[in-house]
Chain A
Amino acid sequence: MKLFGSRFEQVAAIVRKDFIIGLRRRASFATMMMFALTAVASLSLSTGGAFVEPKFFAALLWVVIFFAASAGISGTFDDEATAGTLQTLKLYAAAQAILFGKMIYVFLSLTALTIFILPIFLILFDVAVEKFFLLLATIFFGLIGIAAAGTLTAALTTSATVKGGLFPILLFPITLPIFLPAITLTEISFAGDAFEISSLVVIAAFDLILITASSILYDYL
């Protein structure tokens, strides 16, 4: 119990530390926000007035989130490795605490990104949301999956020489099983069609698999 308590304290300390530094440096937040804003603004201008299927909007939303996330979270471990602090962190904190601390930080960053970009997306594309709670649940589980896969991929690519190109290439196939049901559920939330809860369960189950796999694999990195 004490071990669990101390691990929890380590996770909380790492999340807090990353937020303090992230807010002071602002580089990764700014990269994610600007990418998302630029993509949404330019696409809304180019499709302005044209009739577009809800499926297209749903796919577009997840594409924007995916690439904005790629731009922001690829440096999760690499920034620390470059600054020389990763070795210090590994010495003072347990490996699992580092993984989960980073994962929670990435999830919260992606949540902030989505809170920022979703209203802009809905307004600029004039999308009506028929099933709001379904949209929230889909985004919640989708972001957990991206955070878990993104954190592991960021850890894997830390020692690679071409991190920038490698990160999205590795991340895409891992997150595909999340994206496909997430796009379908987002489309349903826009169109207001009937949905089956099993699609949400699939995303949640894949989240769990990704988190477990990350936890097992991280000890070997």
Chain B
Amino acid sequence: MRRKMDASQQRNASVIIFDDVSLSFGRRALFKNISLNLRGGQVIGITGSNGAGKSTFLKLAGKIIRPDSGEVKLPVEKKIAAVSPEMKIYDGLTAEENLFFFTELRGKTLSAKNILELGGRVGLDLKAFGNVRSENFSTGMKQRLKFAILLSVDADIWLLDEPTANLDDDGREKFFNEIQAAKFDKIILLATNDKAEEKICDEIIRLPL
């Protein structure tokens, strides 16, 4: 599944730049004057103990939150998608409606064939469960649906926060394969404390910095 990055892919690899970024919660400084470049074409792992700021790092990288000072610069026109415990899908919509909704937000349309194909890639039987409201899904099924949404929108930047939590071995393998196959033309940040998830990372950033 691993592919070597050719020269053109290397040139196209993008960068997220943290320029002198600081962020505090109350009196606790989580990040202080951080400057680093997060290059695309690889999986960058963010690790650290609980409360070290892994999820916050991802939110800063995706400009979901703003730093107290400094700047996070994203590549122009790059689109972000995420799989995170904090980012929920709509329980009141069916699996198919969730997929249609989020892809429509990104200006894409899905055919019935696309839906089934996405389900196959994440190990979710959308022929049987496509019309079932996601409030009836198990935690693992919801996680697979979130990943299907991430794949469907074809984003350039993936923010993955403990993406294989609550998944069985089959689900984990499918996630890992998709991440490895996609990494060459994307920026993939993976926040984790899971050893198996760490193994698929090409570079690790350990927090605190």
Contact = CB atoms under 8 A, between A and B. Distances in A.
Instruction: Tell me whether chain A's interface is mostly helix, strand or loop, or mixed.
Output: helix
Contacts of A9: 104-105, 107
Given A21-B93, A25-B92, A92-B153, A13 B101 contact: yes
Interface of B: 62, 64, 80-82, 86-93, 97, 101-102, 104-107, 153
A88 B64 contact: no
The 9 A-B pairs at the shortest CB distance, nearest first, are namely A84-B88, A21-B92, A13-B104, A88-B87, A92-B105, A6-B107, A93-B105, A85-B88, A17-B101
A118 B102 CA distance: 37
A75 to B, nearest CB: 13
A20 B88 contact: no
A6 B103 CA distance: 11
Interface in A1-27: 5-6, 9-10, 13-14, 17, 20-21, 24-25
A91 interface: yes
Contact of A85 (B80, B90, B107): B90
A25 B92 CA distance: 8
Contacts of B101: 13, 17
A97 B90 CA distance: 18
Contact of A83 (B88, B104, B107): B88
A91 B107 contact: no
Given A9-B104, A9-B107, A20-B93, A91 B88 contact: no
A17 B80 contact: no
B87 to A, nearest CB: 4
A87 interface: yes
Contact of A21 (B82, B87, B90, B107): B90
B102 to A, nearest CB: 5
Given A88-B87, A92-B102, 12 more contacts: A9-B105, A10-B104, A13-B105, A83-B90, A87-B64, A87-B87, A88-B82, A91-B81, A92-B81, A92-B105, A93-B105, A97-B105
B106 A92 contact: yes
A91 B104 contact: no
B86 A87 contact: yes
